[in-house]
Amino acid sequence: MKHKVRVVAMDLRGHGDSETSNDVDLSIETLSNDVFNVIDELYGSSTPALVLVGHSMGGAVAVHCAAKKRLHTLTGLIVLDVVEGTALASLAFMQSFLSSRPSSFPSVEKAIEWSVKGGSLRNIDSARVSVASTLKYNEQKQCYTWLTPLEKTETHWQGWYKGLSDLFLSSPVPKILILAGTERLDRALTIGQMQGKFQMVVLRNTGHAIQEDVPDELAKIVLNFIERNCITASGVKIPAVLRAAQLRPQE
Protein backbone atom coordinates (compact mmCIF):
# COMPACT_ATOMS: atom_id res chain seq x y z
CA MET A 1 0.00 0.00 0.00
CA LYS A 2 2.81 2.43 0.79
CA HIS A 3 4.02 2.16 -2.81
CA LYS A 4 0.76 3.53 -4.20
CA VAL A 5 -0.51 6.15 -1.78
CA ARG A 6 0.83 8.32 1.00
CA VAL A 7 -0.79 7.61 4.34
CA VAL A 8 -0.99 10.38 6.92
CA ALA A 9 -2.06 8.90 10.26
CA MET A 10 -2.64 11.61 12.84
CA ASP A 11 -3.18 11.18 16.55
CA LEU A 12 -6.26 13.21 17.42
CA ARG A 13 -6.03 15.25 20.63
CA GLY A 14 -6.32 13.01 23.65
CA HIS A 15 -4.96 10.12 21.61
CA GLY A 16 -1.49 8.68 21.09
CA ASP A 17 1.39 11.16 21.35
CA SER A 18 -0.61 14.31 20.63
CA GLU A 19 -0.66 16.90 23.40
CA THR A 20 -2.73 20.08 23.47
CA SER A 21 -3.73 22.69 26.02
CA ASN A 22 -7.08 20.90 26.45
CA ASP A 23 -6.98 17.19 25.63
CA VAL A 24 -10.55 16.60 26.83
CA ASP A 25 -12.05 19.10 24.38
CA LEU A 26 -13.21 16.42 21.98
CA SER A 27 -16.00 18.46 20.44
CA ILE A 28 -16.61 17.71 16.78
CA GLU A 29 -15.75 21.31 15.88
CA THR A 30 -12.39 21.16 17.65
CA LEU A 31 -11.51 17.75 16.24
CA SER A 32 -12.44 18.83 12.70
CA ASN A 33 -10.36 22.00 13.00
CA ASP A 34 -7.42 19.92 14.23
CA VAL A 35 -7.61 17.87 11.04
CA PHE A 36 -7.73 20.99 8.88
CA ASN A 37 -4.75 22.46 10.73
CA VAL A 38 -2.66 19.32 10.24
CA ILE A 39 -3.44 19.25 6.51
CA ASP A 40 -2.61 22.94 6.20
CA GLU A 41 0.66 22.41 8.05
CA LEU A 42 1.60 19.45 5.84
CA TYR A 43 0.66 20.84 2.45
CA GLY A 44 -0.11 24.55 2.63
CA SER A 45 -1.55 25.68 -0.69
CA SER A 46 -0.32 22.57 -2.54
CA THR A 47 -2.69 19.98 -1.10
CA PRO A 48 -2.87 16.85 -3.28
CA ALA A 49 -6.03 14.83 -3.82
CA LEU A 50 -7.24 13.62 -0.43
CA VAL A 51 -9.20 10.59 0.67
CA LEU A 52 -10.38 10.87 4.28
CA VAL A 53 -10.46 7.62 6.25
CA GLY A 54 -11.87 7.37 9.76
CA HIS A 55 -12.91 4.65 12.19
CA SER A 56 -15.68 4.94 14.80
CA MET A 57 -15.42 8.44 16.31
CA GLY A 58 -12.71 9.15 13.75
CA GLY A 59 -15.19 8.21 11.05
CA ALA A 60 -17.56 10.85 12.41
CA VAL A 61 -14.73 13.40 12.29
CA ALA A 62 -13.98 12.46 8.67
CA VAL A 63 -17.65 12.91 7.69
CA HIS A 64 -17.88 16.29 9.40
CA CYS A 65 -14.65 17.45 7.75
CA ALA A 66 -16.04 16.47 4.35
CA ALA A 67 -19.35 18.24 5.08
CA LYS A 68 -17.63 21.54 5.88
CA LYS A 69 -16.31 21.68 2.27
CA ARG A 70 -13.02 23.25 3.33
CA LEU A 71 -10.97 20.53 1.65
CA HIS A 72 -11.15 21.55 -1.99
CA THR A 73 -9.06 18.57 -3.12
CA LEU A 74 -11.17 15.97 -1.31
CA THR A 75 -11.86 13.09 -3.71
CA GLY A 76 -13.03 10.27 -1.47
CA LEU A 77 -14.49 9.37 1.93
CA ILE A 78 -13.97 6.05 3.70
CA VAL A 79 -15.85 5.39 6.95
CA LEU A 80 -15.20 2.36 9.12
CA ASP A 81 -17.91 0.81 11.27
CA VAL A 82 -19.83 3.80 12.52
CA VAL A 83 -23.55 4.36 11.91
CA GLU A 84 -25.54 7.17 13.46
CA GLY A 85 -28.43 5.09 14.81
CA THR A 86 -26.27 2.42 16.42
CA ALA A 87 -23.76 4.92 17.76
CA LEU A 88 -26.38 7.14 19.40
CA ALA A 89 -28.10 4.13 20.95
CA SER A 90 -24.82 2.88 22.39
CA LEU A 91 -24.12 6.17 24.17
CA ALA A 92 -26.67 5.27 26.83
CA PHE A 93 -24.37 2.46 27.94
CA MET A 94 -21.04 4.24 27.49
CA GLN A 95 -20.56 5.45 31.06
CA SER A 96 -21.42 1.98 32.34
CA PHE A 97 -18.85 0.45 29.99
CA LEU A 98 -16.16 2.95 30.98
CA SER A 99 -16.75 2.34 34.69
CA SER A 100 -16.64 -1.44 34.24
CA ARG A 101 -13.24 -1.59 32.54
CA PRO A 102 -10.07 -1.77 34.66
CA SER A 103 -8.81 1.64 35.73
CA SER A 104 -5.17 0.55 35.72
CA PHE A 105 -2.80 -2.22 34.68
CA PRO A 106 0.48 -3.39 36.23
CA SER A 107 2.04 -3.60 32.76
CA VAL A 108 1.33 -2.92 29.09
CA GLU A 109 1.27 -6.67 28.52
CA LYS A 110 -1.64 -7.03 30.96
CA ALA A 111 -3.53 -4.28 29.15
CA ILE A 112 -2.97 -6.07 25.84
CA GLU A 113 -4.19 -9.33 27.39
CA TRP A 114 -7.34 -7.63 28.71
CA SER A 115 -8.09 -6.02 25.34
CA VAL A 116 -7.85 -9.31 23.45
CA LYS A 117 -9.60 -11.49 26.02
CA GLY A 118 -12.35 -8.91 26.43
CA GLY A 119 -13.04 -8.95 22.71
CA SER A 120 -12.39 -5.29 21.89
CA LEU A 121 -9.46 -6.47 19.77
CA ARG A 122 -8.98 -9.83 18.09
CA ASN A 123 -5.56 -9.49 16.51
CA ILE A 124 -2.85 -9.95 19.13
CA ASP A 125 -0.13 -8.60 16.81
CA SER A 126 -2.10 -5.41 16.23
CA ALA A 127 -2.89 -5.09 19.93
CA ARG A 128 0.81 -5.15 20.75
CA VAL A 129 1.19 -2.05 18.59
CA SER A 130 -1.95 -0.08 19.40
CA VAL A 131 -2.75 -0.67 23.08
CA ALA A 132 0.36 1.04 24.45
CA SER A 133 -0.66 4.33 22.84
CA THR A 134 -3.91 4.35 24.85
CA LEU A 135 -2.04 4.25 28.18
CA LYS A 136 0.21 6.44 30.28
CA TYR A 137 2.46 5.49 33.16
CA ASN A 138 1.49 6.83 36.56
CA GLU A 139 4.70 7.34 38.54
CA GLN A 140 2.90 7.83 41.84
CA LYS A 141 0.84 4.65 41.58
CA GLN A 142 3.49 2.79 39.57
CA CYS A 143 1.00 1.42 37.09
CA TYR A 144 -0.48 2.18 33.69
CA THR A 145 -3.74 4.11 33.42
CA TRP A 146 -5.87 5.22 30.49
CA LEU A 147 -4.42 8.16 28.59
CA THR A 148 -7.72 9.97 28.05
CA PRO A 149 -10.43 10.22 30.74
CA LEU A 150 -13.26 9.58 28.28
CA GLU A 151 -15.88 9.81 31.02
CA LYS A 152 -15.10 13.55 31.22
CA THR A 153 -15.90 14.09 27.53
CA GLU A 154 -19.56 13.03 27.69
CA THR A 155 -20.79 16.50 26.79
CA HIS A 156 -19.35 16.00 23.28
CA TRP A 157 -20.64 12.50 22.51
CA GLN A 158 -23.96 13.44 20.93
CA GLY A 159 -22.25 15.95 18.68
CA TRP A 160 -20.05 13.26 17.14
CA TYR A 161 -22.93 11.25 15.75
CA LYS A 162 -26.13 13.30 15.55
CA GLY A 163 -27.06 13.88 11.91
CA LEU A 164 -24.13 11.76 10.74
CA SER A 165 -26.03 9.66 8.20
CA ASP A 166 -27.42 12.67 6.33
CA LEU A 167 -24.00 14.35 6.32
CA PHE A 168 -22.41 11.19 4.93
CA LEU A 169 -25.03 10.74 2.22
CA SER A 170 -24.86 14.39 1.15
CA SER A 171 -21.11 14.34 0.62
CA PRO A 172 -20.57 14.79 -3.16
CA VAL A 173 -17.38 12.69 -3.34
CA PRO A 174 -17.19 8.89 -3.86
CA LYS A 175 -17.70 7.19 -0.51
CA ILE A 176 -17.62 3.76 1.01
CA LEU A 177 -18.93 2.44 4.33
CA ILE A 178 -17.11 -0.60 5.66
CA LEU A 179 -18.97 -2.46 8.38
CA ALA A 180 -18.53 -5.43 10.67
CA GLY A 181 -22.20 -6.37 10.26
CA THR A 182 -25.22 -5.33 8.17
CA GLU A 183 -27.39 -4.98 11.26
CA ARG A 184 -25.53 -1.75 11.98
CA LEU A 185 -27.26 0.11 9.12
CA ASP A 186 -29.90 2.65 10.13
CA ARG A 187 -32.91 3.62 8.01
CA ALA A 188 -31.28 6.54 6.19
CA LEU A 189 -28.25 4.50 5.21
CA THR A 190 -30.36 1.50 4.19
CA ILE A 191 -32.33 3.69 1.77
CA GLY A 192 -29.17 5.42 0.55
CA GLN A 193 -27.44 2.13 -0.07
CA MET A 194 -30.43 0.84 -2.07
CA GLN A 195 -30.29 4.03 -4.15
CA GLY A 196 -26.61 3.48 -4.88
CA LYS A 197 -25.42 6.61 -3.09
CA PHE A 198 -22.40 4.86 -1.61
CA GLN A 199 -20.47 1.62 -1.77
CA MET A 200 -20.81 -0.72 1.18
CA VAL A 201 -18.60 -3.62 2.21
CA VAL A 202 -19.40 -5.97 5.07
CA LEU A 203 -16.51 -7.86 6.63
CA ARG A 204 -17.12 -11.10 8.46
CA ASN A 205 -15.20 -12.57 11.38
CA THR A 206 -14.09 -9.18 12.66
CA GLY A 207 -15.00 -6.97 15.57
CA HIS A 208 -15.52 -3.23 15.73
CA ALA A 209 -11.80 -2.52 15.28
CA ILE A 210 -11.77 -3.54 11.62
CA GLN A 211 -8.46 -1.87 10.83
CA GLU A 212 -6.78 -3.87 13.57
CA ASP A 213 -8.53 -7.22 13.24
CA VAL A 214 -8.13 -7.59 9.45
CA PRO A 215 -5.59 -4.95 8.33
CA ASP A 216 -4.53 -6.66 5.11
CA GLU A 217 -8.09 -7.19 3.94
CA LEU A 218 -8.96 -3.57 4.73
CA ALA A 219 -5.90 -2.28 2.87
CA LYS A 220 -7.00 -4.16 -0.25
CA ILE A 221 -10.50 -2.67 -0.01
CA VAL A 222 -9.09 0.86 0.36
CA LEU A 223 -6.80 0.43 -2.64
CA ASN A 224 -9.63 -1.05 -4.68
CA PHE A 225 -11.81 1.95 -3.79
CA ILE A 226 -9.09 4.37 -4.91
CA GLU A 227 -8.49 2.51 -8.17
CA ARG A 228 -12.19 1.97 -8.87
CA ASN A 229 -12.83 5.70 -8.59
CA CYS A 230 -9.72 6.60 -10.63
CA ILE A 231 -8.28 8.72 -7.80
CA THR A 232 -4.73 9.99 -8.36
CA ALA A 233 -2.55 12.53 -6.58
CA SER A 234 -3.89 15.23 -8.89
CA GLY A 235 -7.54 14.27 -8.50
CA VAL A 236 -9.99 11.99 -10.25
CA LYS A 237 -8.62 10.82 -13.60
CA ILE A 238 -11.40 10.24 -16.12
CA PRO A 239 -10.62 7.21 -18.35
CA ALA A 240 -10.05 8.02 -22.02
CA VAL A 241 -13.16 6.09 -23.08
CA LEU A 242 -15.37 8.19 -20.79
CA ARG A 243 -13.71 11.42 -21.92
CA ALA A 244 -14.44 10.54 -25.52
CA ALA A 245 -18.04 9.78 -24.67
CA GLN A 246 -18.41 13.10 -22.86
CA LEU A 247 -16.92 15.02 -25.80
CA ARG A 248 -19.03 13.27 -28.43
CA PRO A 249 -21.75 15.66 -29.63
CA GLN A 250 -25.31 14.61 -28.89
CA GLU A 251 -27.39 13.59 -31.86
Catalytic residues: 56, 81, 208
- Sign for the CA dihedral angle at 22, 25, 30, 36 comes to positive
190 Cβ contact partners less than 8 Å away, ≥ 6 residues apart: none
Helix (H, G, I), strand (E, B) or coil at 164: helix
Angle at 161 between CA 222 and CA 55, to 5 degrees: 25
Q: Which of 10, 241, 4, 17 is nearest to 136 (CA)?
A: 17
Length, in residues, of the chain: 251
58 Cβ contact partners less than 8 Å away, ≥ 6 residues apart: 12, 80
Q: Which of 155, 192, 171, 147 is nearest to 54 (CA)?
A: 171
Cβ atoms of 97 and 119 within 8 Å: the answer is no
